[in-house]
Amino acid sequence: MSTRVRGKLELELAETAKQALPGGEFGNAVPGIIVREGRGGRVWDESGNEYIDFLLGSGPMLVGHAHPEVVAAAQAQLAKGTTFFADNRHGIELAREIVDAVPCAEKVRFVSTGTEADAYAMRAARAFRKRDKILKFEGGYHGMSDYALISLAPKRPGNFPQGVPDSAGIPASVQNEMLVAPFNDAETAESLIREHHEELAGVIVEPFQRLLPPVAGFLEALRKSTSIYGIPLIFDEVVTGFRFAYGGAQQYFGVTPDLCTLGKVIGGGFPLAAVAGRADIMAHFDRNLVGDEAFLTQIGTLSGNPIAAAAGLATLAILRRPGSYEQLFATGRELMDALGQMLKASGVPAQVIGIAPVFDVVFADGSIRDYRDTLRGNAEMMKRFNLLLRERGILKGHSKYYVSLAHTPQDVQQTIEAWRSAIEELGRAHNANN
């Protein structure tokens, strides 16, 4: 087992962070580590400690850090200029590629973040339906907008369909514009859609919610119910887009929404996201088609940034190569199987959930189908496990192992050995307390 050592520079940077940043950090997933560089499936901190990286920048680095082809594409554009606030060739070509790849995509509008993409998708649904309310699912993550931060992670879940604000600073009126349903409960979702269809602008869902795969028939039921009433169904594919299949989760699960949001992978590690979907809904971004009253204003200084678009195009070219997704899924399955077997043998109450490219462990027994089931997980044990792994050179966020094409057989074996050692330590502590 290796123990992480913090050098003088990292300690100085950490002190500067305390002085300059709220909480001494950016607010993201892994406090206490300052990353210096990444190559392939690994990163190094400012003290030179090396980690196998399953954080992957929270997912964008699907082909690995500093992939030579992605770097070359970005550098080529960098020499020609960084941003123009005007259309550019790379952005246009990337939009065309998304239209060709993603089943629901007839038109594309670029933004810079997944939060923006989700907010604009909900706004587009409101413009199209001329209604206000959005139905989302408890535990579903749709960025950091006021609307998205209703029942993302409520500590005291309310009664459906009443949502609970997850942050200070959210107007009370926003709570009344969001309806909330349990994920993987088709009957409740269909009932709410039927009851509120006259006031619903849209339904937004992660087709794979955080770590929860949809149960058989759930997405199909949403598609059928929204279609009956002409309500736009929005798939938040910021995480799953181009990760589960080249056409995203909608291709993987075989259910096509009316709109989707994309991010992470399509920017190749640079800030880029998009709303994509049916031409008649996306027409609200075009004043000439819908007129002043129905026009949806959307302006962003860096939307469709040429460097991000060039990096995204290079990333997608790599993913299109034969065997890419087979490799990605094979790596993930090997990791999931090994982790599940070791946890089972340890006697620690735990199970591995997710799909090969994105998974994690929940320290609990019983079925895990929705957000409230995840609350049964032992959060302290999870925190301890993640810390033990970091000591052993494995980097991940609070939840999720993101798998990349850059993770090698050596990375897999080293990860398995780290898990074995950490689980043994967890097991000893668990057995001593029971």
Domains of the chain: which residue ranges?
8-66+324-432, 68-319
Residue 427: pLDDT band with limits 50, 70, 90: confident
Query: How many whole angstroms separate alpha carbon 367 and alpha carbon 226?
Result: 28
Of 51, 120, 141, 325, the catalytic one is 141
From the candidates 236, 360, 370, 411, which is the catalytic residue? 236
pLDDT of residue 71: 98
Please give the single-letter amino acid code of residue 304: G
pLDDT digits (tens, 9 = 90+) for 325-353: 999 999 999 999 999 999 999 989 999 99
CATH architecture entry for 8-66+324-432: Alpha-Beta Complex (3.90)
What pLDDT sits at residue 429?
75
Q: Are strands 401-402 and 358-362 parallel, antiparallel or unpaired?
A: antiparallel
Structure confidence at residue 421 as a pLDDT band (50, 70, 90):
very high
Average pLDDT, the chain: 95
pLDDT tens across 204-248, in order? 999 999 999 999 999 999 999 999 999 999 999 999 999 999 999
CA pair distance 260, 249, nearest whole angstrom? 10
Contacts of 309 (CB under 8 A, 6+ apart): 88, 90, 91, 93, 94, 110, 267, 272
Q: pLDDT above 90 covers what percent of the chain?
A: 89
| 163-213 confidence digits (pLDDT tens) | 999 999 999 999 999 999 999 999 999 999 999 999 999 999 999 999 999
pLDDT of residue 156: 82
Q: Which two tokens stand for residue 341?
A: 């077997």
Q: Determine whether 236 is an active site residue.
A: yes
Q: Which of 407, 412, 409, 387 is nearest to 398 (CA)?
A: 387
Q: Report whether CATH 3.40.640.10 matches the domain 68-319.
A: yes
> 404: closest CA among 61, 44, 145, 158?
61
Q: How far apart are CA 146 and CA 139, in angstroms?
A: 15
Active site residue 400: no
The pTM score is 0.96
The tokens describing 247, both together, are: 């056409």
What is the distance between the alpha carbons of residues 209 and 5, in angstroms, rounded to a whole number?
Answer: 36
Residue type, 166: D
pLDDT in tens, 395-405: 999 999 999 99
Q: From residue 13, how far is each of 17, 21, 30, 428 by CA, in Å?
A: 6, 11, 15, 36
In one-letter notation, the amino acid at residue 15 is: E
Annotated catalytic, 402?
no
Q: Which residue did the predictor score with more confidence, 58 or 30? A: 58
Mean pLDDT calculated for residue range 355-368: 96
Q: Per the residue annotation, which of 264, 371, 402, 411 is the catalytic one?
A: 264
- Position 25 scores a pLDDT of 87
